Amino acid sequence: MITVADQSHLRGKLLFDEPMAKHTSWRVGGPADCFYVPADLADLQLFLATQSPAQPIYWLGLGSNLLVRDGGVRGTVVATSGALDDLRKLDEQRVRAEVGVACAKVARFTVTHGLAGAQFLAGIPGTVGGALAMNAGAFGGETWTIVEAVETIDRQGRVRTRTRAEFTIGYRRVEGPAHEWFVAALFHLQQGDEAEGKAHIKTLLVKRGQTQPTRMANAGSVFKNPPGDYAARLIEASGLKGLCEGKACVSELHANFIVNTGEASAADIEGLINEVRERVARAQGITLELEVRVIGEP
């Protein structure tokens, strides 16, 4: 693990025992042993090269699809939001976005530059990195349908460009070269009308506000939709809307959301997740699969 003495070569922010509750949309999570916010991609390359091969590394965007347990994270968390934030139009149909850029910002940027096809990203409350890692989707769109290529980085800090064909893409699932992480995406889009694009995004955001508990601490959809059905329908049909454990509750607005109503712990949320899964399995005969990622020690 990197030590305090090693900081002289780095330009980013290095913290120890950083409370993860400050960095997750559920507002829960114990401390990370090491927390690093790189200054830019070059700084991240240097930082990764200093890490022990045995040191676990976790990646954090907006923390919107992540449950960090109360015991915290044994390892290093690399925070990309606001750090790897370069966003630019390369030509008439392609946009490059680093992984720390918010998906909503990409949606707005593309329509402002007369491009269509990425408006659905406005409904994803995370960063490009998280969207790439899980093939995030919203309102019928999925991230990897507009990906032409990606840039990845390994533990030695080496950056590579890889095409979409080098990855196996599925519903909320992406498999690619081992021991590499995303640092940027190249999106291929179509020509579009700016006014129409902005109106479309506005419509999507209004719909999101009406159907999701956006004003309460949550992490988006908790479970993946099973084939041919919806997790929210199964949870609601099982009579679980409003079910609580401690201060964590199944949303009354959208059954596939769990909200932190006050001072919920990660244990409250994880316990409720397990209870919902068990009761849906008993009532509906379907075992729901997690969409959110769970890390850390109890």
The percentage of the chain sitting over the pLDDT mark of 90, rounded to a whole number, equals: 95
Q: Is residue 230's pLDDT more than 70?
A: yes
pLDDT tens across 45-58, in order? Answer: 999 998 999 999 99
Say whether 221 is catalytic.
yes
The fold for domain 4-79 equals 3.30.43
Domain boundaries, the chain: 4-79, 87-211, 231-295
Report how far residue 65's alpha carbon sits from residue 105's, in angstroms, rounded to the nearest whole number. Answer: 18
What are the C-alpha distances in Å from 14 to residues 18, 130, 181? 10, 22, 20
pLDDT band at 9 (very low <50, low <70, confident <90, very high): confident
CA gap 173, 247 in Å, rounded: 30
Spell out the SS3 assignment of 50-84: HCCCCCCEEEECCCCCEEECCCEEEEEEEECCCCC
Looking at residue 223, the DSSP 8-state letter turns out to be B
pLDDT mean over 173-195: 97
Q: Where are the alpha helices (DSSP H) in 161-220?
A: 194-211
Are 53 and 155 contacting, i.e. CB atoms less than 8 angstroms apart?
yes
Catalytic annotation present for 291: yes
| Per-residue model confidence (pLDDT) at position 5 | 44
| 7 pLDDT tier (thresholds 50, 70, 90) | low
- The model's pTM: 0.94
In the numeric block, which tokens belong to residue 223?
A: 């479970």
What burial class does residue 39 get, using C-beta atoms within 10 Å of its C-beta: 0-12 exposed, 13-18 middle, 19+ buried? middle
Q: Is 173 a catalytic residue?
A: no
The answer as to CATH 3.30.465.10 being correct for domain 87-211 is: yes
- Alpha helices by DSSP H, listed for the chain, are 41-50, 103-112, 128-134, 194-211, 231-237, 266-284
Q: Determine the pLDDT at residue 27.
A: 98
CATH of domain 231-295: 3.90.78.10
pLDDT digits (tens, 9 = 90+) for 116-164: 999 999 999 999 999 999 999 999 999 999 999 999 999 999 999 999 9
Of 64, 81, 221, 238, which one is the catalytic site residue?
Answer: 221
Among residues 172, 208, 279, 293, the one annotated as catalytic is 172
Question: How many CB atoms are located within 10 Å of the residue 170 CB?
Answer: 10
